[in-house]
């Protein structure tokens, strides 16, 4: 009797959504062969490059993800980019199922005059810079001070403000890159402004992140008591009610703090303001023009009342979009067009690529498990037999692609940790693909030969 061929699955993207999907699949189909591709040599996606460097507790989830990568049947192939090294069509031909888990890496633009001036950055690029993402490590942001505006009322906006406001001593134990640490420490910042289009109850930051702003050594939060409502109002969802009550409680506590005029750094919370234009001179930012808003039916409506905020840097933290990929069109929301995670027969999508940039890391677990269920149903209805990894390996060898294995990543991980230990940090990241591949060549256990593809910096 012929033994049935194991199902083959390719997951494009080795971040949280993809790893949760891989774990769900391999638990139900332990005989499956699952390849996880990532365009970078490193796994873990936004846990590595998006979570704030001083939130090491959150980043500890990589230990769970590392166990998934180490499970029999799961293979990591880093430095393999779909669209550059292999096409989506080729993957669909080679595997029984393909799952897109590529996230939403592109910053949404403000869409206002002046946003192309020097000193304006999207939060994805800015956070990627201080987290050492190869796409953004060379950003060299203009932090000439004394003012910085962060547009957005979510946790990312708070992360940016907090990282800029903290002292070097407060960043001890963080994996902030050496370049970012030097730049931020030298920046003559005195006023950081966090701007929200709607009111404090519509803000999307979590209470834990908000409360953290009141614990900083040299920075003092500034909240106008008049901007806060008397009560959080009535919400249908008890969890939402508790969240709003806690948010208002924390904001009231921050507003009641002593005057912050003498503090070295002040973090101002502005509610019901919308950016109208970035002001500049000689090609660089000098200010941000704001309009007062009023909230009607949950939407911010711009009024004619304006004010100019003197800042030299503007960081927009207003969301992200997916990157276009041939064979996976985006819908009008900027995500891969799908129905409950199904894009086309045998093609699926999870995470931010599926639903947009919302939720925290664990939010992806339930989403990925639900889509994994649909993938399993698809596999059960098909006659497995596509070659999967064998076909991909032949393509990569023929094209001279240097794929980075999990064992390679383990060596790279060890090298980063060793570099960090010398500087008193959890790790010192390699911030270019070229440096990562060079480190692999120099690391103990490196192969005698390597593929010939030129690394992208």
Q: What's the length of the chain?
A: 457
Reference 176, options 136, 124, 132, 209; nearest CA is: 132
Cα 36 off chain centre by: 18
- DSSP lists the bridge partners of residue 364 as none
CB-based contact 374:59 (threshold 8 Å): no
**Phi, psi dihedral angles at 192 (to 5 degrees):** -115, 125
Q: How many CA atoms lie within 13 A of 119 on its CB side?
A: 25
Please enumerate, by residue number, every residue annotated as part of a binding site for FAD: 17, 46, 82, 352, 359-361
CB-based contact 218:167 (threshold 8 Å): yes
Please enumerate, by residue number, every residue annotated as part of a binding site for NADP(+): 153-156, 197-198, 209, 359
- The verdict on whether omega for the bond into residue 325 sits within 30 degrees of 0, i.e. cis, is no
Reference 285, options 277, 275, 293; nearest CA is: 277
Q: How many CA atoms lie within 13 A of 215 on its CB side?
A: 8
Please enumerate, by residue number, every residue annotated as part of a binding site: 17, 46, 82, 153-156, 197-198, 209, 352, 359-361
Q: What angle do CA 330, 365, 12 make, to 5 degrees?
A: 45
The torsion angle over the Cα atoms of residues 66, 68, 74 and 77, rounded to 10 degrees, is -30
Cα separation, 434 vs 417, in Å, equals 18
Cα separation, 196 vs 448, in Å, equals 55
CB-based contact 7:33 (threshold 8 Å): yes
3-state secondary structure of 239: helix
């Amino acid at each position: 009797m012929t033994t049935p061929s194991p199902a083959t699955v390719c997951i494009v993207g080795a971040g949280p959504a993809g790893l949760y999907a891989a774990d769900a699949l391999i638990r139900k189909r332990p005989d499956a062969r699952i390849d996880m591709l990532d365009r970078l040599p490193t796994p873990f996606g936004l846990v590595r490059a998006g979570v704030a460097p001083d939130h090491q507790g959150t980043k500890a989830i990589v230990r769970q993800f590392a166990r998934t990568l180490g499970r029999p049947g799961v293979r990591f192939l880093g430095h393999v980019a779909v669209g550059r090294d292999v096409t989506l069509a080729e993957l669909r031909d080679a595997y029984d199922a393909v799952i897109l888990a590529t996230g939403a890496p592109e910053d949404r633009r403000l869409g206002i005059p002046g946003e192309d001036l020097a000193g304006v950055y999207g939060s994805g690029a800015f956070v990627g810079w201080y987290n050492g993402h190869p796409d953004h490590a060379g950003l060299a942001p203009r932090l000439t001070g004394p003012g910085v505006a962060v547009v957005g009322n979510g946790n990312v906006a708070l992360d940016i403000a907090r990282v800029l406001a903290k002292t070097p001593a407060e960043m001890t134990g963080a994996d902030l890159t050496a370049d970012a640490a030097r730049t931020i420490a030298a920046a003559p910042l005195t006023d950081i402004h966090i701007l929200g289009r709607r009111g404090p109850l519509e803000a999307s930051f979590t209470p834990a992140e908000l409360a953290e702003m009141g614990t900083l050594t040299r920075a003092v939060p500034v909240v106008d008591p008049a901007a806060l409502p008397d009560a959080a109002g009535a919400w249908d969802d008890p969890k939402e009610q508790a969240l709003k009550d806690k948010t208002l409680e924390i904001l009231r506590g921050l507003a009641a703090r002593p005057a912050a005029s003498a503090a070295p750094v002040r973090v101002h919370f502005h509610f019901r303001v919308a950016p109208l234009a970035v002001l500049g001179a000689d090609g660089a930012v000098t200010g941000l023009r704001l309009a007062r808003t009023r909230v009607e039916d949950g939407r911010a409506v711009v009024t004619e009342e304006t004010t100019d905020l003197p800042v030299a840097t503007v960081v927009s933290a207003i969301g992200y979009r997916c990157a276009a990929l041939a064979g996976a069109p985006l819908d009008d929301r900027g995500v891969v067009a799908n129905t409950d995670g199904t894009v086309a027969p045998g093609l699926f999508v999870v995470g931010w690529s599926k639903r947009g940039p919302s939720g925290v890391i664990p939010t992806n677990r339930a989403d990925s498990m639900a889509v994994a269920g649909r993938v399993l149903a698809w596999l059960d209805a098909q006659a497995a037999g596509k070659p999967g990894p064998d076909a991909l390996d032949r393509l990569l060898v023929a094209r001279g692609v240097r794929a980075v294995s999990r064992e390679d990543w383990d060596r790279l991980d060890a090298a980063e940790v060793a570099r960090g230990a010398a500087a008193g940090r959890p790790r010192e990241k390699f911030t270019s693909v070229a440096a990562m591949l060079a480190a692999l060549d120099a690391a103990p256990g490196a192969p005698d030969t390597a593929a010939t593809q030129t690394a992208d910096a």
